[in-house]
Chains A and B, each alone.
Chain A
Amino acid sequence: MSELKELIQNKYNNEAFDGNGSLQSLSQKGMQLFNEQGIPTVKHEEWKYTRIANVLNKDFSYAVNATAVTKADVDAVRLPGNEAANELVFINGIYHAELSSVRSSADELVILPLSEAAKGEYKSVVDANLGHSATYHPDGINAMNNAFAYQGLFIAVKKNKAVEHPLYCYYINDARSSSVLSQPRTLIHVGVNAEVFLVEEEITIGSSDSFTNRVSEIVVEENANVHIYKIQNEDSHSSCVKTTHVRQVGVSKVNSVTLTLNGGTIRNNLNFILEAPGCESHMYGLYCVKGETHVDNHTIVDNVMPNSFSNELYKGIIDENATGVFNGKIFVRQDAQKTNAYQSNKNVLLSDTANVNTKPQLEIFADDVKCSHGCTVGRLDEEALFYLRARGVGEKAAKALLLHAFAGEILDKIELEPIRKYADAIIAERLGFEF
């Protein structure tokens, strides 16, 4: 781990960011906290089941000037529906305008380096929101990203605008010549009455080790509608920690779907802070993993004000030696009366060596709320399997049919058809579903 500490400290010293204001102080605080805390071990309660220190205990380089990635490289990894999308390309954590294509006009969508946004029209937004996730993740991982947040990107969806073109964000690590550590950072402001679809994918090019520590903070204003779809489908040498921190500061609606299909060690932090009365949040997740993949979904719903509704459903299909972790925390603060918060985690284990750890946590300080949580871990329903087989469907096909239906409940929540079909095709192939 000393190698990583050295890598981070050297980069910090060499860059000597001098921007003053909120970026400067976040960077300094981040560096300081990182040095104090280091990378969390399994002794850290929030990292009990995910050995992130082992993943980072390798010889990474922190290369940001990856000019080696060409348009053809990006073409090879574009998601379906890209021809109608705004495509934002990050290489080794840094936004690359030349490789990106922004189709929406500047009166709908604003894209600025965070360092610029922190000075101009959006200064107050940046000051009030950048680094807000640190309150919920006071650990070395979040701090490590904060230390370099000044390299991040600011995205604003303007007031009253429904962005016609979805925002596809490709976080590409170029691991062709050496292993890569990257730390993308975004702050997204969705204005009053605005609507936007975000699609995010981590991609590694090359076969060296790749680690992405991404923090995305999203601020949602009144009457805004935000859809966040995340796809993770990498090789086993690619690991990541993704933190998506959503503040619903006005009455608004947010839908999130997190799909994990393959990878090394994957930690998805997803926080919803419901700061206005009457917010609505939907959090869906599907992990369909095998091999040695380890996927950890940590979610937080913090109900601060009354009358909010949140619904959370995470489903897992775990095969071979893969591991799934689900930790869902719901806070209902004293003022958040009439909160409705639901949470469910359902897992199907397909092998004797597949593993799942699931932990719901409710902390309720108000007295007039409806909260429920539940989790299941099991095998496929034998009775359903027999029913299908008794009608002539072979065992393998019957299992595929049932698993595909199990996954379908989550996939159906994706409202962008090309993305839903793309994910469905991967799942169907994985399950041997050919109908």
Chain B
Amino acid sequence: MLSIKNLQARIEEKEILKGINLDIKPGEVHAIMGPNGSGKSTLASVLAGRSDYEVTGGEVEFNGKDLFELSPEDRAREGLFLAFQYPVEIPGVSTTNFIKTAVNEIRKYLGEEPMDAVQFLKKMKEKMKLVEIDQSLLSRSLNEGFSGGEKKRNEIFQMAMLEPTLAILDETDSGLDIDALRIVAEGVNKLRDGNRSFLVITHYQRLLDYIVPDHVHVLYKGKIVKSGGKELALELEERGYDFIKEELGESVEA
């Protein structure tokens, strides 16, 4: 599904990812945790193809293809989805129109016929229920004036519509209250079907109470320094990131 080997990347002159190795198999949920500035969001951005970052080494294979040979839109068409940490507000473009465009662009790429209006509406209704999102919100300009929770729910709704094979959630829990977090997590859980894989990036463990991962990795200073099962997340919650630093033999400030 996704195979990351010795991935290195920088923004401007600053090295951020310093050799990441990660394998995600179909149906698996991986969580990446780590303190601020460890490179979590950079990893998400690099995988999705954000041009601010320069990949300086390593390789990433996605569903048998070299990810870095693909444009951002082709990555999405091949089944990669990034739920943004800060979804962009786009005045004048409704979610409905935008997602219809996206669905049909992806279908075109895959050599499928465009979806007709009836099929599309049916699918919309089905997925709207999944994330408890209202039609009126989807008719409005994309994310414009949406609350934090509405933006994140819209991300999960779009994910449901696009049916990716790998979904990357970049700090989807940030800025959410507990109710919004629950709705978003439930939406994600409903999309777990044994084949779809998830890479959940988060600073806090609480999201992982709802989206239970198969594997947890700790990212620190641009490297994965520790991997384990879901219990690793609990340990981090209890002991903080300092114990990782201690394990690495770094001095910890009091």
> Footprint of B on A, CB under 8 Å?
381-384, 386-395, 397-398, 401-402, 404-406, 408-409, 435
Closest 7 CB pairs between A and B?
A: A405-B92, A392-B76, A387-B88, A389-B72, A392-B106, A391-B102, A389-B73
Which of B51, B90, B91 neighbours the largest number of chain A CB atoms within 10 Å of its CB?
B90
B residues near A402, Cβ cutoff 8 Å: 90, 93
Q: Within the assembled complex, what's the spacing in Å between the Cα atoms of A384 and B86?
A: 11
CB contact under 8 A between A392 and B90, given known A386-B51, A387-B84? no
Apart from the given pairs A392-B162, A401-B93, 14 other A-B contacts in the complex at a CB distance below 8 Å: A382-B51, A383-B88, A386-B50, A386-B88, A387-B90, A388-B90, A390-B48, A391-B99, A392-B102, A397-B105, A405-B92, A405-B141, A409-B91, A435-B97
Contact B73–A393 (Cβ < 8 Å): yes
Contact B100–A387 (Cβ < 8 Å): no
Instruction: Select from chain A the residue with minimum beta-carbon distance to B99.
Output: A391
A residues near B101, Cβ cutoff 8 Å: 393, 397, 401, 435
B residues near A409, Cβ cutoff 8 Å: 91-92
Contact partner of A393 (CB less than 8 A), chosen from B49, B84, B102, is B102
Instruction: Select from chain A the residue with minimum beta-carbon distance to B73.
Output: A389
Q: Within the assembled complex, what's the spacing in Å between the Cα atoms of A388 and B81?
A: 12
Query: In the assembled complex, how far is the CB of residue A405 from the closest CB belonging to chain B, in whole angstroms?
Result: 3
CB contact under 8 A between A392 and B105, given known A387-B84, A402-B93, A408-B92? yes
Contact partner of B49 (CB less than 8 A), chosen from A383, A390, A405, A435, is A390
Q: Within the assembled complex, what's the spacing in Å between the Cα atoms of A191 and B176?
A: 57
**13 pairs across A/B with beta carbons < 8 Å?**
A386-B72, A387-B90, A389-B71, A389-B73, A389-B76, A390-B75, A391-B81, A391-B98, A391-B102, A391-B162, A394-B73, A404-B92, A405-B91
Majority secondary structure of chain A interface residues (helix, strand, loop or mixed): helix
Q: Within the assembled complex, what's the spacing in Å between the Cα atoms of A378 and B72?
A: 23
Contact A405–B93 (Cβ < 8 Å): yes
B residues near A388, Cβ cutoff 8 Å: 90, 98, 102
Tell me the chain B residues, 129-166 only, with Cβ under 8 Å from chain A: 141, 158, 162
Query: In the assembled complex, how far is the CB of residue A33 from the closest CB belonging to chain B, in whole angstroms?
Result: 45
Q: Within the assembled complex, what's the spacing in Å between the Cα atoms of A397 and B141?
A: 18
Is B223 in the interface zone, CB < 8 Å from A?
no
Contact B90–A405 (Cβ < 8 Å): yes
Q: Within the assembled complex, what's the spacing in Å between the Cα atoms of A405 and B98?
A: 11
Contact with A along B67-111 (1 / 0, CB 8 A): 000011101110001101001101111000111111101100100
Instruction: Select from chain B the residue with minimum beta-carbon distance to A403.
Output: B92
Instruction: Select from chain B the residue with minimum beta-carbon distance to A404.
Output: B92
Contact A392–B92 (Cβ < 8 Å): no
Q: Within the assembled complex, what's the spacing in Å between the Cα atoms of A401 and B73?
A: 14
A residues near B90, Cβ cutoff 8 Å: 384, 387-388, 402, 405
Instruction: Select from chain B the residue with minimum beta-carbon distance to A383.
Output: B88
Instruction: Select from chain A the residue with minimum beta-carbon distance to B159.
Output: A391
Q: Within the assembled complex, what's the spacing in Å between the Cα atoms of A46 and B99?
A: 46
Query: In the assembled complex, how far is the CB of residue B107 from the closest CB belonging to chain A, in whole angstroms?
Result: 9
Query: In the assembled complex, how far is the CB of residue B81 from the closest CB belonging to chain A, in whole angstroms?
Result: 8
B residues near A387, Cβ cutoff 8 Å: 84, 87-88, 90
Which of B49, B81, B101, B106 neighbours the largest number of chain A CB atoms within 10 Å of its CB?
B101
Query: In the assembled complex, how far is the CB of residue A264 from the closest CB belonging to chain B, in whole angstroms?
Result: 30
Q: Within the assembled complex, what's the spacing in Å between the Cα atoms of A401 and B109?
A: 18
Query: In the assembled complex, how far is the CB of residue A70 from the closest CB belonging to chain B, in whole angstroms?
Result: 42
B residues near A395, Cβ cutoff 8 Å: 71, 73
Q: Within the assembled complex, what's the spacing in Å between the Cα atoms of A394 and B70?
A: 12
Q: Within the assembled complex, what's the spacing in Å between the Cα atoms of A435 and B115?
A: 12
Q: Within the assembled complex, what's the spacing in Å between the Cα atoms of A81 and B141?
A: 29
Query: In the assembled complex, how far is the CB of residue B56 from the closest CB belonging to chain A, in whole angstroms?
Result: 20
Contact A390–B92 (Cβ < 8 Å): no
Query: In the assembled complex, how far is the CB of residue B142 from the closest CB belonging to chain A, in whole angstroms?
Result: 8
Instruction: Select from chain B the residue with minimum beta-carbon distance to A412.
Output: B92
